[in-house]
Chains A and B, each alone.
Chain A
Amino acid sequence: MVQVQQSAKIPGAAFEKWRTWQTRLGWLSVVLVVIGLGMAFFYAPPEATMGDVYRLFFFHMPAAIAGFAGFFVTFVASIAYLVERTAERDMWAVAGAETGIVFSLAGILGGMFWARPVWNVWWTWDARLTSVTIMMLTYIAYMMLRQAIDDPERRARFAAVMGIVAFVNVPLVWLSTRWIDRTIHPVLFGGESSETAQGDLALTPSMEITLMVCMVAVLVLFAYFLVRRVRLEMARAELSRLREGGEIS
């Protein structure tokens, strides 16, 4: 009977290099998230009108930003792939899209739980929420496109084009609350909230420090997931190589 070992060695300098980074980022994210949660609950003061429920903001906004970062990775890796077609660039593109979807989903869920007591609804077809939905559906379609094509080179080429085009959504989501006057979603940075916005808050210095710590924590967590997802793609590529009759190292 074949003995299956859990620690299969996958050759490749890049795979080993990113293993070290994955471990470091994983432990660093755990420490930073714990500190961030502690500050969000015990250091930041309650908000004047919303009370304690606004504390969701400290992980809601960083999750949304990390989602954008994931899609930006896909955008850059897709351009890089079309410039020089290497499998590793395609791996970064798919990893960026998947982690971007995960962090955007976390941001949306956190926002829904904040919206219910503040806006009195879980969901509304506001400019920001509608544009986020379109962005999410576009990247889910990107993942579906990848599943639908068997040939690796063709899959990577088609996905690269879609990864570039899909990124148009990201600035539209960012600008949706700044360009459209009638929106319920507040703007905290880089603009003013519209008159119809609800749940706006003025950040005190301790709230700003807490937000910065939580932002770093979530971005490190994002980097951890991104690296881990890229390594999974590297392992899959090695498996395909072996199945196609390549040499064993």
Chain B
Amino acid sequence: MTNAVYLFGGYIAMGMVYLLYWWSLRQRERFVERELELEREHERDLHSGETPFA
């Protein structure tokens, strides 16, 4: 392999680490946001006195 392959390979490897970490954070944030919204919806239903089968 030439030096250029190692040079670009190294930058791609480093970039992939940052990109994967950014993606992993985004996935975890989305999961927590969804769960938060579900919890709030559940609480609102409880306080309104309505049931899903009414």
B1-47 interface with A by 8 A CB criterion: 1, 3-4, 6-7, 9-11, 13-14, 17-18, 21-22, 25, 28-30, 32-41, 43-44
Assuming the contacts A52-B4, A53-B6, A106-B17, asked whether A239 and B43 have C-beta atoms less than 8 A apart, the reply is no
Interface residues on A, range: 35 or more
The answer on a CB contact under 8 Å between A235 and B32 is yes
Q: Taking each of B14, B17, B37, which has the highest tally of chain A beta carbons within 10 Å of its own beta carbon?
A: B14
Chain A residues with CB under 8 Å of B14's CB are: 59-60, 63, 106-107, 109-110
Q: Would you call A18 an interface residue if the criterion is a C-beta within 8 Å of the partner chain's C-beta atoms? A: no
The answer on a CB contact under 8 Å between A239 and B32 is yes
What's the count of A-B pairs with C-beta under 8 Å? 100
Interface residues on B, range: 20 to 34
A104-158 interface with B by 8 A CB criterion: 105-107, 109-110, 112-114, 116-117
CB distance from B6 to the nearest CB of A (A): 5
With the chains together, A228 CA to B7 CA distance in Å?
A: 30
Q: Which of A3-11, A72-80, A184-192, A194-202 contacts B (4 or more CB under 8 A)?
A: A3-11
Q: Taking each of A113, A116, A243, which has the highest tally of chain B beta carbons within 10 Å of its own beta carbon?
A: A113
CB distance from B28 to the nearest CB of A (A): 6
The answer on a CB contact under 8 Å between A51 and B10 is no
The answer on a CB contact under 8 Å between A242 and B7 is no
Assuming the contacts A4-B37, A52-B3, asked whether A113 and B13 have C-beta atoms less than 8 A apart, the reply is yes
Residues of A participating in the B interface, judged by any CB pair closer than 8 Å:
2-8, 10, 37, 50-53, 55-56, 59-60, 63, 102, 105-107, 109-110, 112-114, 116-117, 221, 225, 228-229, 231-232, 235-236, 238-239, 242-243, 248
Closest 6 CB pairs of A and B: A113-B10, A53-B3, A8-B33, A8-B36, A109-B13, A106-B17
Could you list some 28 contacts between A and B, CB below 8 A?
A4-B38, A8-B34, A10-B36, A51-B3, A52-B4, A53-B4, A55-B7, A56-B10, A59-B11, A102-B18, A106-B13, A106-B14, A106-B18, A109-B14, A110-B11, A113-B13, A116-B6, A117-B3, A221-B18, A225-B25, A228-B25, A228-B29, A235-B32, A235-B33, A239-B35, A239-B39, A242-B43, A243-B39
